[in-house]
């Protein structure tokens, strides 16, 4: 199911949110409330957490594998709100997929 994310005035930014722990649902809410953006899909590897957040945001598609977001050509940008140890890998994959990326801080655990 595709979420319709179009304004009559201008095309909206379609944001995928990866990670539904503490901050992820806040990103889903905010991007869903903004006039020029929407969240067609969000991901979390934790199935019970994903179901809980899915009940709050039924207009968005909930998936366990974040790569579904990266593979969706209609999604322009991603928010990465996962544990720090995963930020670098997911951000790298998102950039390679041609997405705009917002990474929760810290971006990675070490300078290396």
Alpha-carbon distance of 103 to 94, in angstroms, equals: 11
Which contiguous run of DSSP H or E holds residue 18?
Answer: strand 13-18
Asked if the structure places residue 72 within a domain, the reply is: yes
Residue 5 has pLDDT above 80, yes or no: no
Q: What percent of the chain has pLDDT over 70?
A: 91
Asked if the structure places residue 89 within a domain, the reply is: yes
Asked if residue 52 lies in contact with residue 58, where contact means CB atoms within 8 angstroms, the answer is no
CATH code for position 76: 3.40.50.720
102: number of Cβ within 10 Å: 16
In the chain, the number of structural domains is 1
Residue 7 has pLDDT above 60, yes or no: no
- pLDDT tens sequence across 65-109: 999 999 999 999 999 999 999 999 999 999 999 999 999 888 888
pTM of the model: 0.90
Asked if the structure places residue 111 within a domain, the reply is: no
Query: What is the per-residue pLDDT for 21?
Result: 93
Structural domain span for residue 19: 13-103
Asked if the structure places residue 88 within a domain, the reply is: yes
Asked if the structure places residue 1 within a domain, the reply is: no
Query: What is the per-residue pLDDT for 67?
Result: 98
Asked if the structure places residue 69 within a domain, the reply is: yes
């Amino acid at each position: 199911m595709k979420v319709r994310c179009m304004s009559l005035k201008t095309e909206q930014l379609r944001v995928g949110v990866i990670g539904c722990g503490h901050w992820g649902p806040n990103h889903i809410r905010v991007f869903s409330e903004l006039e020029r953006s929407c969240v067609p899909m969000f991901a979390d590897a934790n199935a019970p957490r994903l179901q809980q957040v899915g009940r709050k945001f039924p207009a968005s598609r909930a998936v366990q594998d974040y790569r579904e977001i990266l593979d969706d050509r209609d999604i322009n940008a991603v928010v990465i709100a996962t544990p720090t140890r995963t930020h670098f890998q997911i951000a790298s994959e998102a950039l390679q997929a041609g997405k705009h990326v917002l990474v929760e801080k810290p971006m990675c655990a070490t300078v290396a």
